[in-house]
Chains A and B, each alone.
Chain A
Amino acid sequence: MRALQALVEPARVHRDVYTREDIFKLELERIWGQAWVYVGHESQVKAPGDYLTTHIGLTPVIMVRDMNGKDINVLVNRCGHRGAQVCQARSGHANGLFKCPYHGWTFHTDGSLRSQPSPGGYQDVGFDRNAAAFGMTPVARTEQYRGFVFSSLAATGPELTVFLGQMCATIDNMVDRAPTGEVEVTGKTCHRFRHPVNWKFFTENLHDAMHPMVAHAGTSDAVRQYLEQLPPAHEPLPEAEVIAPFGGSYHFFDEMGFVGLPRGHGYMGGKTSIFSHYQVYPDYLQAMEQAYGRERTEEILSFNRHNGLIYPSCTIRDNIQSVRVVIPVSVNETIIESWTFRLKGAPPAMLQRTLRYSRLINSPASMVGPDDLDCYIRIQQSAAASAIEWIDMQRHFGRETRDGERQQAIGTSDLALRNQYTAWLEYMT
């Protein structure tokens, strides 16, 4: 079998990275076990005891608002006694404690052991009730950035803001787009789209600007056909605003550009993006100008990134207030969860646009996501079976420019793929 270093070359990657079980296990340990991974948003656990369950890699975790009302703790969702998962619900309220349904051990919302039934059995047997291992162990590190909660399973490493680097600006922009400077998650559940493929196909597609005009041609064609049958002076169609840019030209995406950042992060756009031609609602503009003044409002609304990737765990569309979370399940299974956010203080039309976008693009029943997924499945199947070993990523190779830690390229460059694999090798070797 090839060594890890031999799987990634500057402009091509070996198919084994998508198919080998041992590599997936190493990714869990060295990437998902090291990086800051997105867990949730503080608005999902408003009251003391509110919790949300999710995964960091394969590790089940609970994000819970501490009974002190202030802290947000991220605990391994595992009883310190025999290891059963304690919470099964996606979200809920722990009334001051978590209780394991198997033998009745209970835990405080900081994960420490509260009580065991018939505790005499643990007296004088060397049992240390204060040991973290007998609680619901907190993950090694948890930090928030403007309400977005990330955890790392590694005890050491860069602080969250250092890890995020220039991706902080994407989070900033999403929050700043709220007239009150606050965002909140809209529901108790989200779109959960099962992808029967390796997780990397999803992150690699985010900045692949050579695919939309081909893979989404049928959908944009359907929109075009519909528009053609309308009378010439029809009202603008909100669905067309969302879908039409996915049929944008090569020139449109080249102009948008791509920026690659350390640790695999990156984004498309900056000045222009897939959202450039979205209508600005007058009542929203007014609310923003009242809150921030004209100049600052213009600055916030002209910030135009698309698909900000915080590698490996999430991608943020600050413009449309959508966060998609990557949850690896196995070497060829991944769940993509899409959460929508409400801009507090914005008129309802803004939330409706966010929801429309999410239904049309992110939903398992959309006319966009299933086409992307279909293409990933085609690669996954050939990677597992075909005699051809290498997968190409050399488009515009060597034509990127570097400015400090930023690398820039025209939108249809494969720089995004190369940048993710540079990070992948750094994590893995």
Chain B
Amino acid sequence: MSDDNLQGALHNDIKDLIRLETRCLNAADLETWSSLFTEDGYYWMPLERTQTDPEQHDSLIYDNRALMTMRRYNLHNPLSPSMQREVRSVRILSEPDIDLSAAPGGDIIVRADVIAVIHHRKQDTFAGAVTWRLVRTDAGLKIKSKRVDLLNADAPLDSIMMYI
């Protein structure tokens, strides 16, 4: 294949991965969802857009794979009062911007805006900017990190029952 074709195939793979990630969250399938991440991958929802280091400041969510698995076990577990109601959600992403040269080591940076609606006790709308860092592995593309900057991360928020 020519370079252009290779690049086109990679772009398609990236978009497929992002679409699959969104579909998993919409379906509340956290098992498949977390398997899209690398073993050391993480999901980060900061409190401030200017934050650069989740280890130095509070975050709304900063989950490693262990926590992703715990949340999967907790989801819809009737032992948790808040989980006795079904959590339904849907996300709409903008066309992703793909940057193949932004990160060192060949990592791929993808950005998109998201609008997510979560229904639990009531219906809440979230919006924000998403940044994925993807890596090429023997098992194909994986998510090394996903960062979600909510528009209103610093506002009083109701319970957030699902990853955005």
Contacts and interface: CB of A to CB of B under 8 A. Distances in A.
A348 to B, nearest CB: 7
A365 B61 contact: yes
Interface string B18-30: 0000000000000
A225 interface: yes
Q: Which of B54, B57, B82 has the most CB of A within 10 A?
A: B82
B60 A191 contact: yes
Given A189-B154, A355-B59, A374-B81, A364 B159 contact: yes
Interface string A182-195: 00001111111110
Contact of A373 (B73, B79, B82): B82
A211 to B, nearest CB: 10
B67 interface: yes
Contact of A193 (B59, B74, B157): B157
A222 B82 CA distance: 14
Contacts of B70: 219, 222-223, 225-226, 239, 243, 367
Contact of B58 (A187, A215, A369): A187
A125 interface: no
B114 to A, nearest CB: 15
Given A217-B80, A239-B70, A340-B58, A196 B158 contact: yes
A363 interface: yes
Given A239-B67, A358-B58, A221 B79 contact: yes
Contact of B60 (A90, A221, A365, A377): A365
Q: Which of B72, B84, B158 has the most CB of A within 10 A?
A: B158
Contact of B157 (A90, A192, A223): A192
Contact of A219 (B54, B60, B74): B74
Nearest to A333: B156
A237 interface: yes
A192 B155 contact: yes
Q: Which of B57, B78, B84 has the most CB of A within 10 A?
A: B57
A96 interface: no
B107 interface: no
A187 B48 contact: yes
A36 B158 CA distance: 28
Interface string A42-55: 00000000000000
Interface string B135-164: 000000000000000000111111111000
A338 B157 CA distance: 12
Interface in A219-256: 219, 221-223, 225-226, 237, 239, 243
A367 B67 CA distance: 10
| Chain A to chain B: the 7 pairs with minimum beta-carbon distance, closest first | A218-B80, A218-B79, A370-B159, A222-B73, A365-B160, A374-B82, A194-B156
B15 interface: no
A371 interface: yes
Contacts of B156: 192-194, 335
A105 B59 CA distance: 38
B58 A359 contact: yes
Interface string A320-351: 00000000000000010010100000001001
A188 B54 CA distance: 14
Given A226-B69, A377-B121, A370 B74 contact: no
A428 interface: no
A371 B73 contact: no
B32 interface: no
A364 B81 contact: no
Contacts of A190: 47, 58
29 contacts: A90-B154, A187-B57, A189-B47, A193-B156, A194-B156, A196-B158, A218-B77, A218-B79, A218-B83, A219-B80, A221-B73, A222-B71, A222-B73, A225-B70, A239-B70, A355-B59, A355-B62, A359-B59, A363-B61, A364-B159, A364-B160, A365-B160, A370-B160, A371-B82, A373-B159, A374-B81, A375-B81, A377-B121, A378-B81
A280 to B, nearest CB: 20
B45 interface: yes
Interface string B40-51: 000001011000
A216 B77 CA distance: 11
A352 interface: yes
B5 interface: no
A186 B58 contact: yes
Interface in A359-413: 359, 363-365, 367, 369-371, 373-375, 377-378
A222 B73 CA distance: 5
A369 B81 CA distance: 11
Contacts of B161: 370
B79 A367 contact: no
Nearest to A215: B81
Contacts of B48: 187-189
Given A193-B156, A355-B54, A367-B74, 19 more contacts: A188-B48, A190-B47, A192-B154, A192-B157, A193-B159, A194-B158, A218-B77, A218-B80, A222-B70, A348-B55, A359-B58, A359-B61, A363-B58, A363-B60, A363-B61, A364-B158, A364-B160, A365-B159, A374-B81
A237 B66 CA distance: 9
A342 B85 CA distance: 37
Contacts of A186: 56-58
Nearest to A216: B80
A353 to B, nearest CB: 11
